[in-house]
Amino acid sequence: MIDLSTQYLGLKLKNPLVPSSSPLTASLDDARRLEDAGAAAIVLPSLFEESIHFEQKQLDKYLHSQALGNYEAESFQPVPSDYKGELDNYLDHLHHVKSSLNIPVIASLNGISTSGWIDFGKELMQAGADALELNVYYVAADPEQSGEQVENRYIELLTDLDKLINIPITMKLSSQFSSMANMVTKLQTSGANGVVLFNRFYQPDIDLETLGIKPHLELSSAEESLLRIRWIALIRSRVQLSLAATGGFHQTDDIIKALLAGADAVYLCSVLLNKGPEYCAKLLQQLQHWLEENEYESVQQMQGSVSQSCAIDPAAYEHSNYMNVIKSYRH
């Protein structure tokens, strides 16, 4: 029997497949289906500090407008005492998922202020999350802000959180850092137990009729996995923290490549939204089959065996490949 287990963020996972934050993990029913299909852990959708503030503002506005009403209406409580806001609903969901599933549950947080990251991070830890994923979705558009200042935002955030959070912390990063290996090393030194490579930035679109800017979300394509595989291969032997791959993992071959490159876990989202939670079982079955065919005894045996430091041609992950790729094109 092939051992599919892997270590991720200090957690022993029964296999490397982890459904990432998405509407699927927002539903207890779908979370159960994911576990039944063999998912090794799940990452809940992000709790957004911004939307908690927005909700609070709306509520304040509503309460304020009520307070300006008639004298007789002053004792009237417009908000029921059992009213639950976004944070309460998130914590309830985390609690239900934790008590219904046997696999680890990773909470995800998208903050905007230092106090938000810290306070909500603590709430998620206290509610029983097995690990905390920081979804730092930051578009650095300020010309006054240097690359180093942008990097320091991440480092300071992690340093602050690491003092107060005693569950593993992983950071979901964008691919847009000048020196990815250096950035990941600094995150490791600042207390990160893992990084998730890479967040997908959704590009807003211009509506040609209204000239308004409209949000635009497209699910990923398998092609996107190559960027993740390359970076995992490049940094695997340079850091000790856990590496998860996210973005474009739709088929077993690409999952295998990420593991060969050195991923500890492979996140799945678009493929499961497209094909349903049960597809996780199919991917696992194909992974097992490939390991058998190629005479591996375990996932751990193959993990990192084609990382840059172990690859037959290490330079192929770096610049030399650029010239070869361009020259290989036939018109």
Ligand X SMILES: Cc1cc2nc3c(=O)[nH]c(=O)nc-3n(C[C@H](O)[C@H](O)[C@H](O)COP(=O)(O)O)c2cc1C
Read off the tokens for 322.
């650029």
Q: Binding residue for ligand X (CB under 6 A) from 104, 121, 248, 262? A: 248
In which region does residue 200 sit, left (phi positive, over 0), alpha (psi from -120 to 50) or beta (all else)?
beta
Which is closer to ligand X, CB of 169 or CB of 308?
A: 169
Restricting to residues 287-306, name those near ligand X by CB under 6 A. Answer: none
Select the residue interacting with ligand X from 21, 242, 307, 308 (CB under 6 A).
Answer: 21
CA 326 to chain CA mean position, Å = 33
- Name the one range near ligand X by CB under 6 A: 16-24, 75-83, 256-264, 278-286: 16-24
Q: Does 194 contact ligand X by CB under 6 A?
A: no
Which residue among 116, 168, 194, 247 contacts ligand X (CB under 6 A)?
Answer: 247
Which of 249, 255, 287, 304 lies at the binding interface for ligand X (CB under 6 A)? 249
Q: Are 204 and 274 in contact (CB under 8 A)?
A: no
Q: Which stretch binds ligand X (CB under 6 A): 3-11, 19-27, 90-98, 182-190?
A: 19-27
**Which residues neighbour 211 within 8 Å (Cβ) at sequence distance 6 or greater?**
none
- Dihedral of CA atoms 24, 30, 36, 38 in degrees, nearest 10, equals 0
State the DSSP code for 14: S
Check residue 121 for interaction with ligand X (CB under 6 A). Answer: no
Q: Helix, strand, or coil here: 107?
A: strand
Figure out which of the listed residues 15, 20, 242, 308 binds ligand X, where binding follows CB under 6 A: 20
Residue selected from 6, 46, 170, 242 as contacting ligand X according to rule CB under 6 A: 46
Give the shortest CB-179-to-ligand X separation in angstroms.
22
Identify the DSSP state of 159: H
Residues in the chain: 331
Q: Does 117 participate in binding ligand X (rule CB under 6 A)?
A: no
Question: What's the order of all strands across the beta sheet hosting 105-110?
Answer: 17-19, 265-268, 242-245, 194-197, 169-173, 131-135, 105-110, 42-48
Q: How far is the CB of 145 from ligand X (least distance, A)?
A: 23
Query: Least distance to ligand X from the beta carbon of 232, Å?
Result: 14
Residues 126-145 that bind ligand X (CB under 6 A): 135
- Does 45 bind ligand X (CB under 6 A)? Our answer is yes
Q: Which of 15, 170, 193, 220 binds ligand X (CB under 6 A)?
A: 220
For residues 287 and 307, give the distance between their C-alpha atoms in angstroms, rounded to a whole number.
Answer: 19
In whole angstroms, give the CA distance from residue 301 to residue 265. 14
Q: Say whether residue 170 binds ligand X (CB under 6 A).
A: no
Burial class (CB in 10 A: 0-12, 13-18, 19+), 194: buried
Q: Is 228 in the site for ligand X (CB under 6 A)?
A: no
Nearer CB in complex with ligand X: 40/271: 271
Q: Does 22 bind ligand X (CB under 6 A)?
A: yes
Using the contact rule CB under 6 A, the part of the chain among 57-65, 234-242, 263-271, 303-311 near ligand X is 263-271
Contact 265, 170 (CB under 8 A): no
Which residue ranges make up the site for ligand X (CB under 6 A)? 20-23, 45-46, 108, 135, 172, 200, 219-220, 246-249, 267-271
